[in-house]
Amino acid sequence: MKLFVGLGNPGAGYAGNRHNIGFMAVDRIAADHSFGPWKKAFKGLVADGRLGNVRVLLLKPDTFMNLSGQAVQAAMAFHKILPEDVVVFHDELDLAPGKLRTKMAGGHAGHNGLRSIHGHIGENYGRVRLGIGHPGHKDAVAGYVLHDFARADADWLGDLLRGLSEGAALLAAGESARFLNAVALRMAPQRVSSGTRPQQIAPPTPKPVKQPVVDAPEPDTRTLLQRLSDRFS
Domain boundaries, the chain: 2-148
Pick the CATH number of 2-148 from 3.40.50.1470, 3.40.50.720, 3.40.50.300, 3.30.530.20: 3.40.50.1470
**DSSP helix/strand/coil, 232:** helix
Q: What is the pLDDT of residues 21-55, one digit of tens each?
A: 999 999 999 999 999 999 999 999 999 999 999 99
CB 153 within 8 A of CB 17: no
pLDDT, tens only, 182-210: 999 998 865 444 444 444 545 555 556 55
pLDDT digits (tens, 9 = 90+) for 110-159: 898 999 999 999 999 999 999 999 998 888 999 999 999 999 999 999 99
Type of residue numbered 75? A
pLDDT for the residue numbered 210 = 58
* 54-61: strand order across its sheet: 39-41, 44-51, 54-61, 2-6, 86-92, 126-131, 100-104
What pLDDT, on a 0 to 100 scale, did the predictor assign at position 152? 92
97 vs 18: CA distance, rounded Å: 10
- 122 phi-psi bin (left φ>0, alpha ψ -120 to 50, beta other): left
Residue positions annotated with a catalytic role: 19
Tell me how far the alpha carbon of residue 48 is from its chain's centroid: 24
- Is residue 212's pLDDT more than 90? no
- CA distances 183 to 3, 25, 46, 69, 79, Å, are 20, 12, 24, 27, 29
Instruction: Please list the residues that pair with 100 across neighbouring strands.
Output: 130
Pair type for strands 86-92 and 126-131: parallel
DSSP class of residue 5 equals E
